[in-house]
A and B are shown apart, each in its own frame.
Chain A
């Protein structure tokens, strides 16, 4: 489903991704962990082309872009359509209701009729447990509810891959559970997911595989049980010790 080859990303002189190779199969849930500055968020953002990689190629489903050459806008648009992102700070449109937020992509970008888009948005908001909050503006919702609208907005694009960038990091502790539950349900439906998170319980329960990144490279990739009980690499061990203590 996802194939990343030799991916590099530089910001000026700073190389944030130093050659990432990664294959993800359909229906897999991959959790990416690592210290801050390890490049895990940048990797996710490259998949949705919110950052344009400096070199290397990305293939999602049938769409490929090779960033070692100049890539035209059309290719970027097509590749971007394969994935949808859920942001750490939700980034909902504050001037639109929950329903309008979810309808926006289908109506404006996919040119779906308003009636169809509305039905679909209602169904998705029901699915994330917000069927009674359709006409609420983001500021009238709790952080957890806003993030669930964010998930519904991403799902409305019918992506092949769902990308979650620290989706619970900005939430009050008591609101984390409701968002993780929605993500678990999606994983059980067989949606391919890449999740950057610090929620080790979630990684342990839901992920098929965990990737540990450090200093722009993938250090280790294994099943969560292996990663958390006996990591192969010293750096992984140090990181896990730090976050578990």
Chain B
């Protein structure tokens, strides 16, 4: 038995090396495929992945601010609606939500194209998660700030716009960056409702040349690079908003 296992391990290891690195001819073919697939993959990123992420984040953020304000509001029905929305979205898988929108709704006559369906699905998701971040950020601003704003005669909306949200923004940059980075990667789920974003392109190419490991690794690296730059932007934003805080 022990011999058998040893043989199997040796055998699979050999197969791995044969497939991947040792053979120079194979390696050259791999490099060629990696290179030629780069253009369609980047196109998928620029035309779908990034626009989808950006549009969704902006719409989701607006939803999130409204939801956070509804949660904080003293009007009970607003609170209820907000709680229900957050609970429903956070309590169900994102993939299931996308499937309901794209494959489910047509049976009641609501047909939505892949891209708009993805925008709706991801926005609702970001809105629910980010609303908790924004709610916490707003509640972290001392009560004295509201009072000072009221004292100088500001209305509720003026207080929010001029005093509370600018300060809440600083607090929410790290957690909202998290949300955005997650979102960029989650858009790969769009492939399952036929959005031809970057990951779907990789699947399509791999289906023709069977280089699954190569293409999925390549696409992973591109996601990583995008997220690396997003982290850099986060750092710069944090620095900019820190200028009025003592350290």
Contact = CB atoms under 8 A, between A and B. Distances in A.
B246 interface: yes
Interface stretch (B31-39, B51-59, B150-158): B150-158
B167 A95 contact: yes
Contact of A80 (B142, B153, B170): B153
A92 B245 contact: no
Contacts of B244: 94-96, 137-139
A218 to B, nearest CB: 24
Contacts of B167: 94-95
Contacts of B144: 87, 89, 91
Given A95-B167, A104-B162, A109-B158, A84 B245 contact: no
Contact of B151 (A85, A110, A138, A140): A85
B145 interface: yes
- Among A91, A105, A157, max chain B CB count under 10 A is at A91
A153 interface: yes
Interface in A115-146: 137-140
A91 B147 contact: yes
A137 B244 CA distance: 6
A48 interface: yes
- Among A77, A95, A105, A137, max chain B CB count under 10 A is at A95
Given A109-B153, A109-B158, A157-B153, A91 B148 contact: yes
A165 B158 CA distance: 24
A152 to B, nearest CB: 12
B170 to A, nearest CB: 8
Contacts of A110: 153
Contacts of A154: 151
Contact of A92 (B148, B153, B158): B148
A239 interface: no
A95 B168 CA distance: 11
Contacts of A93: 145, 148-149, 163
B158 to A, nearest CB: 6
Given A87-B144, A109-B158, A137-B244, A95 B166 contact: yes
A84 B153 CA distance: 9
Nearest to B152: A105
7 contacts: A48-B151, A80-B153, A84-B152, A94-B245, A95-B244, A108-B152, A153-B152
Interface of B: 142, 144-145, 147-154, 158, 162-163, 166-167, 170, 243-246
